[in-house]
Chains A and B, each alone.
Chain A
Amino acid sequence: MISTKERLQIARQAMPEQSASLRQLNFNEVNLGLTEKLALLEAQRCLDCKDPKCMAGCPVLVDIPRFILKLAEGDVAGAARSMLSDNALPAITGRVCPQETQCEIVCVRAKKGDPVAIGYLERFVADWARGQSGLGLGDRAPASGRKVAVIGSGPAGLTAAGELVKFGHEVTVYEALHKPGGVLVYGIPEFRLPKKIVVEEVERLRQAGVKIECNVVIGRAYTLPELRARFDAVFIANGAGLPVFMNVPGENLKGVYSANEYLTRVNLMAAYRFPRSDTPVLSGKRVAVVGGGNVAMDAVRTARRLGAERAVIVYRRGKAELPARAEEIHHAENEGIEFEFLVAPIEVLGDEKKWVRGLRCQRMQLGEPDASGRRRPVPVPGSEFVVDCNTVIVAIGARANPLLTATCPELKLNKWGNIEVDPNGMTNLPGVFAGGDIVRGAATVILAMGDGKTAARAIDRYLKQS
């Protein structure tokens, strides 16, 4: 046993990564993962607090000190079992969670220095577990004979499915696209989350008995009332699949994409390998991405990898307000991504053949705080200028896709079209639950997973009562 004093003396380990100059030329994962030696050292930085704050910072309530303690003892298998009993998709969350605003920000060590690298450790343990066949989802309840339909195979749907089979229910997941994973396969790029990991996690769920039916668009192939008739409960987790455009002139010019389309072409359809794969994407030499979230960072770094000489983020607020994960911003900066802060687009400019030739913008300054508490950007008069570009990618958010909800008018929605739920994730219709972005609007993978977990427990209780 090492003393607290010794623990305090260990500095936070850095994540080994592909060099910025190299990784701009490929789609391989940027972060390489801690070595076992580094992981054990990092695990020893955890002080095993009597009153650990980190767990409360986690939307799926992973027992963080428990797995880190096992790891610090060198018991990687124990750490993995501990992790997997709390979180069905740790190799994914270890890569895409904004740890700096969740578990790590409340780590006691963050008060005087760097927090324990909980995300790196989660990833290390999860990746170790990927190589082990015996690690399933943990204990299973006997078969209940009850059937649950899950709509959408993104993070909320997969998490709920994993929990529900553990409770002994028969689960069928319906996915609209031809591959399971939702945003994990169409949205998040390979360099941040290798598709192989999603495939493995999905396979683990299939092994546990989850049925996944792809190419089934609920709302068209089956309506929600039809599903309710065939299943004992339904969990709607179809995401925020409706791109928001800027509503400025020139947005239909050739070379303007929604981030959804751009990323779907590259990730799901493998357009980065065109013409070996059949789906093309315009790989502009000068690309402007509008927005400041993770999706914007994914799009701009993808553009860089597709050969953009200039790839620039256009964001209407300042650097401090960027909603993206800190690591993504840092990686983007290292990769030579430019940032135009406090800038808002007012028109996409086209050439005589209607191809994008620039993005006319105006500078902004921060005014009074708005409803979100963030200072509202207001235009600076006379500050117009043109960002030279031939591709514009709009990454300013996504709204609720009405395809499904339109088939069930009695389902209660809010004014933005998101489904309203109670604290257990149940909608106004008995036995119909919802979670993830269809409820929250565009949020994060881990919040969606948290919803999936909450809803699965509530569904289990509902099924036992009904």
Chain B
Amino acid sequence: MHEIIAKARLSPNVTRIEARAPRIAEIRQPGQFVIVHRAEEAERIPLTIADGDPARGTISLVIQAVGKSTRELVALEPGQFIQSIAGPLGRPTDLISSGKALCVGGGVGTAVIHPIAQGLRRAGASVVSIIGGRAREWVIFEEELRRLGEVIVCTDDGSYGRKGFVTDAARDCLAVGGIDVVYAVGPVPMMRAVAALTRPLKVRTIVSLNPVMVDGTGMCGGCRVGVGEEVKFACVDGPEFDGHAVDFELLMDRLSTYRAQEQEANTCSESGCRIGLG
């Protein structure tokens, strides 16, 4: 059982929860994730560890409430418990220890960029972050990332920072040059667009993938992704891969597998229906 210690709303649909998980807080590394199983009948949800505090014995998870499972998770209040958190899972980020990294975060992906930027600074690299959201209230982790280096904020509507997509800002940064590696985490189209920008420039680009997952230990193969000619399991071989080799079309297609069921679960939980209760 993992107690929720604190909870904060970061944007209209993104919530940060701090939960007790001492061992994970102690050993987690940038890029790693946990599998959260809220309660008996709940789904197992993979979530990247956004931050950790070994002294307090807590980890921070940043959750975008998009479906029934994530809405129920963010509905938990401090003092309540998550039944189980398994981790840290996945391979840690491949960090550079000198030179300059460009960290591009879109939406809730910015929360995944944060520990990567932390790790880069600790390792000795300098960091420029480009983060974005639809409008000002959707921008998250700006303050935390400012502590680690320059931050360029983009909003689709121009209500804050630069108007436009993070990819526009990334294009400009890359044009200036001096970027040794790009870390991009966000919606699949965003990661695909960043990888498309850097491919002709031959700038190494690492993306973090979020396919459908069940156990998180390589047992089920549900999270298989195409990387170059190979099929990889994101849970054990990733979740971060070479953005120039990832088959983003396949990822997007497989992410749509349960769309009908997700809608059914949403409709049911909203209307309190009793399908299957016999």
**In the complex, are the beta carbons of B276 and A273 less than 8 A apart?**
yes
**Residue A275 contacts which of B86, B221, B275 (CB distance < 8 angstroms)?**
B275
The interface-forming segment of B125-133, B161-169, B199-207, B253-261 is B253-261
With A221-B23, A241-B219, A252-B254 in contact, do A274 and B86 touch (Cβ < 8 Å)?
no
**CB contact list, B247-276 vs A, under 8 A:** 250, 253-254, 256-258, 261-262, 264-265, 268-269, 275-276
Which residues of chain B come closer than 8 Å to A465, judged between CB atoms?
Answer: none
Which residues of chain A come closer than 8 Å to B37, judged between CB atoms?
Answer: 178, 215
Q: How many A-B Cβ pairs are below 8 Å? A: 116
- CA–CA, A254 and B275, complex, Å: 25
Output the least CB separation between B272 and chain A (Å): 12
**CB contact list, B72-96 vs A, under 8 A:** 83-89
Which residues of chain A come closer than 8 Å to B258, judged between CB atoms?
Answer: 280, 282
Most A-side CB within 10 Å, residue of B85, B221, B257, B277: B221
Q: Is the interface of B mostly helix, strand, loop or mixed?
A: mixed
**In the complex, are the beta carbons of A252 and B224 less than 8 A apart?**
yes
**In the complex, are the beta carbons of B215 and A264 less than 8 A apart?**
yes
With A221-B27, A252-B226, A270-B41 in contact, do A258 and B221 touch (Cβ < 8 Å)?
yes
**In the complex, are the beta carbons of A269 and B83 less than 8 A apart?**
no
Output the least CB separation between B241 and chain A (Å): 15
Output the least CB separation between A246 and chain B (Å): 11
Taken residue by residue from 22 to 44, chain B's Cβ proximity to chain A (1 for < 8 Å, 0 otherwise) reads as 01100100000000010001111
**In the complex, are the beta carbons of A264 and B254 less than 8 A apart?**
no
Does A242 count as interface, using CB distance less than 8 angstroms? yes
**In the complex, are the beta carbons of A260 and B219 less than 8 A apart?**
yes
Output the least CB separation between B204 and chain A (Å): 24
**CB contact list, A226-254 vs B, under 8 A:** 241-243, 245, 251-252, 254
**In the complex, are the beta carbons of B218 and A403 less than 8 A apart?**
yes
**In the complex, are the beta carbons of B220 and A264 less than 8 A apart?**
yes
Which residues of chain B come closer than 8 Å to A265, judged between CB atoms?
Answer: 214
Does A444 count as interface, using CB distance less than 8 angstroms? no
Using a Cβ–Cβ cut-off of 8 Å, how many residues does chain B contribute to the interface with A?
Answer: 45
Which residues of chain A come closer than 8 Å to B253, judged between CB atoms?
Answer: 254, 354
**In the complex, are the beta carbons of B214 and A241 less than 8 A apart?**
no
With A220-B87, A220-B89 in contact, do A278 and B217 touch (Cβ < 8 Å)?
no
- CA–CA, A242 and B220, complex, Å: 7
Does B68 count as interface, using CB distance less than 8 angstroms? yes
- CA–CA, A269 and B42, complex, Å: 8
Using a Cβ–Cβ cut-off of 8 Å, how many residues does chain A contribute to the interface with B?
Answer: 38
Most A-side CB within 10 Å, residue of B85, B258, B261, B269: B261
- CA–CA, A245 and B224, complex, Å: 11
Does A21 count as interface, using CB distance less than 8 angstroms? no
**In the complex, are the beta carbons of A215 and B219 less than 8 A apart?**
no
**In the complex, are the beta carbons of A215 and B84 less than 8 A apart?**
yes
Q: Is the interface of A mostly helix, strand, loop or mixed?
A: loop
With A178-B44, A276-B276, A278-B42 in contact, do A261 and B236 touch (Cβ < 8 Å)?
no
**In the complex, are the beta carbons of A261 and B221 less than 8 A apart?**
yes
Taken residue by residue from 223 to 257, chain B's Cβ proximity to chain A (1 for < 8 Å, 0 otherwise) reads as 01010000100001000000000000010011011
Most B-side CB within 10 Å, residue of A217, A241, A270, A277: A217
Q: Which residue of B lies closest to A263 (CB)?
A: B220
- CA–CA, A354 and B84, complex, Å: 35
Q: Which residue of B lies closest to A272 (CB)?
A: B276
Which residues of chain B come closer than 8 Å to A28, judged between CB atoms?
Answer: none
Does B69 count as interface, using CB distance less than 8 angstroms? yes
**In the complex, are the beta carbons of A245 and B231 less than 8 A apart?**
yes
Output the least CB separation between B57 and chain A (Å): 14
- CA–CA, A171 and B27, complex, Å: 24
Q: Which residue of B lies closest to A350 (CB)?
A: B253
Does B54 count as interface, using CB distance less than 8 angstroms? no
With A221-B24, A275-B276, A276-B276 in contact, do A242 and B218 touch (Cβ < 8 Å)?
yes
**CB contact list, B36-69 vs A, under 8 A:** 37, 41-44, 68-69
**CB contact list, A146-202 vs B, under 8 A:** 176-178, 186
**In the complex, are the beta carbons of A243 and B43 less than 8 A apart?**
no
**In the complex, are the beta carbons of A264 and B275 less than 8 A apart?**
no
**In the complex, are the beta carbons of B220 and A215 less than 8 A apart?**
no
Please give the residue numbers on chain A whose beta carbons come within 8 Å of chain B beta carbons, in ascending order. Answer: 176-178, 186, 214-217, 220-221, 241-243, 245, 251-252, 254, 257-258, 260-261, 264-265, 269-270, 273-280, 282, 354, 401-403
CB-CB nearest 6 A-B residue pairs: A261-B220, A280-B261, A241-B219, A215-B86, A258-B221, A278-B43
30 A–B contacts from the bound complex (CB under 8 Å):
A178-B83, A186-B219, A215-B37, A215-B84, A215-B85, A220-B87, A221-B27, A221-B87, A241-B217, A242-B218, A243-B219, A245-B231, A252-B224, A252-B231, A252-B250, A257-B222, A258-B221, A260-B219, A260-B221, A261-B222, A274-B261, A275-B275, A276-B41, A278-B42, A278-B43, A279-B44, A279-B214, A401-B218, A402-B218, A403-B236
